[in-house]
Structure 1
Amino acid sequence: MTKITERGMIFNAEMVRALLDGRKMQTRRIMKVQPDTPEFGLRRIIESSIANEIGMYFWSQDDARGIKARSKPFSCPYGGVGDRIWVRETWAEAGAGAPDLKLYRANYPAHVPSHYENVPPAEEIRWTPSIHMPRCASRILLEITDVRVERLNSISEEDAKAEGAPTECCVIGDKHFLGFRSLWKNIYGNDSWQANPWVWVIEFKRIEGDDHETD
């Protein structure tokens, strides 16, 4: 039986809402291992005497003698097809009056069941940053359906739509692409977009389930 592993991943409030609405089916994350020069190519290991290297990637360079590895083999740190991602988001405990209720900043107070009374305004709640969310508090579970690698700027209009980014208003043409570009710049800065890094492209579907093994 194939082992399924779960890993936590941080999403901001806007992207959490896109997940809840079913608009977000992809995410892009900057690869930690970037090529030293633009001439390096990315290759994937499909055969190896070392079993656990199969499916991993490495940067390479072609010369007269053939292909030379220019990095150690590495894999996607977020998992592979079939693995799961539990969403980390800004949250809070409701308190002694409702010990089983968890609050989520992304769509608070809309998600609070109607039978709860005296729901405080968001500014009065002591929110816990997403990085400190434990697995037991997560409400969204995703299953990876595909993993690939590409340059950030090469995202297509269709994929930009699948990222769940808001569209740019009053524009003609690739409004999803422009919306994704604006979102990326807001999160990572203008320099990151200009650098056009290699990114992990992770496609997923939302699932329900409680059985998990965490990393």
Structure 2
Amino acid sequence: MLYLTDDSVRAVLRSINPKTQTRRVVKLPHNNSLGIWEPTTFGGPNGGRTAAGETIPEQGGIWHTRTADCLMCPYGQPGDRLWVRESWCHLSDVRTADPGGDALQRRVFYRADYPSDTLMHDDRPEEKIKWRSSRFMPRWASRITLEIVSVRVERVQDISYEDALSEGVNDYAAAIAEGVNAIGETPEQTARRLEWPQRQYRLQWDELNAARGFDWGVNPWVWRIEFRRLP
């Protein structure tokens, strides 16, 4: 399973330039000073087999040059499916006389769909929804299933222009608003020159990870997980 913020859920669900990557901090078991952690790859036709005798999919990992400890991605390997947990509420949590036409069939509402925290009338405080944490979402309530396409390890600051777009950052309007686009440049050309997606991703990263000691300046190792949404 995978926890996603409201913004990430909306990015995954959109039809144009959807989010197809996520980066998660690699939790290193130690920092032995006699060696260093380095990214590596393993798996593939000649890369070992599982206990069941199946070929391990080729993927990225990280290993320590002194202890030879090697870590695989804890979120899964290529081909694995992840169900997404997000903030939600059950029909019984909704304080409104008319929760919507198909509410009885769906039984579930998702906070990402209701930024104002109400389903029907924004000006009625009594209809404000008390959302449930994504931590308590059961499997049956999940609406998004992802399939892992690839896994590799890199430093968070190594994110490319294209990968930042794949992380869900694709709003060029703010880059143009800075007033520094050259004559004749397209919005994409301006955004690329300014490294706009990378800058926006940095802000998103720090918002989620700085308080945990993994801010952008620390430049931690991350799992770069590429996925596709299943119908």
TM over 0.5: yes
Q: Secondary structure of the equivalent of 1:145?
A: strand
Tell me which of 27, 35, 53 is aligned to 1:32.
Answer: 27
Matches within 5 A, 1:24-63: 24-33=19-28, 36=31, 39-46=36-43, 51=50, 57-61=61-65
Q: In the TM superposition, what is the alpha-carbon distance from 1:154 to its structure 2 partner?
A: 0.3
CA distance in 2 between counterparts of 1:136 and 1:186 reads 30
Number of equivalences: 188
2:227 counterpart residue number: 204
Q: What is the distance in 2 between the residues matched to 1:147 and 1:133?
A: 26
SS of the residue corresponding to residue 40 of structure 2 reads strand
Q: Is the 8 A contact 1:145 1:205 kept in 2?
A: yes
Read off the aligned partner of 1:25 and give its amino acid letter. T
What is the Cα deviation at residue 174 of structure 1? Answer: 0.8
Match of 1:16 in 2: 9
Q: Residue 35 and residue 93 in structure 1: after superposition, are their counterparts in 2 closer, same or farther (change >3 A)?
A: same
Q: How much does 1:159 deviate?
A: 0.3
Shift of 1:107: 1.2
Q: What is the one-letter code of the residue matched to 2:219?
A: N
Q: 1:125 aligned to 129, 145, 163, which one?
A: 129
Matched with 2:184 is none
Q: After superposition, give the CA deviation of every residue in 1:33-70 in whole Å (9 maximum; x if it has no partner).
A: 26725844233445678855966845232xxxxxx544
Shift of 1:165: 2.7
Match of 1:154 among 148, 155, 158: 158
Higher helix share: 2
Partner of 1:181: 202
**Kept after mapping to 1: 8 A contact 2:8/2:168:** yes
Conserved 8 A contact 1:166-1:179:
no
SS at match of 1:189: helix
Structure 1 pair 48–69 and aligned structure 2 pair: CA distance change class (3 A)? farther
RMSD over aligned Cα, in angstroms?
A: 3.2
Q: Which residue identity is paired with 1:24?
A: K
Structure 1 residues without counterparts, runs of 5 or longer: 1-7, 62-67, 111-117, 209-215
Change (3 A) 1:70 1:92: same
1:195 and 2:199 matched: no
CA separation of 1:58/1:149 partners in 2, compared to 1, >3 Å: closer, same or farther? closer
Between stretches 95-104 and 137-146, larger displacement belongs to: 95-104
What TM-score, normalized by structure 2, do the two folds share? 0.69
Q: Percent identity?
A: 37
Mark the CA change 1:49 to 1:201 in structure 2 (over 3 Å): closer, same or farther: closer
Which structure dedicates a bigger proportion of its chain to strand? 1
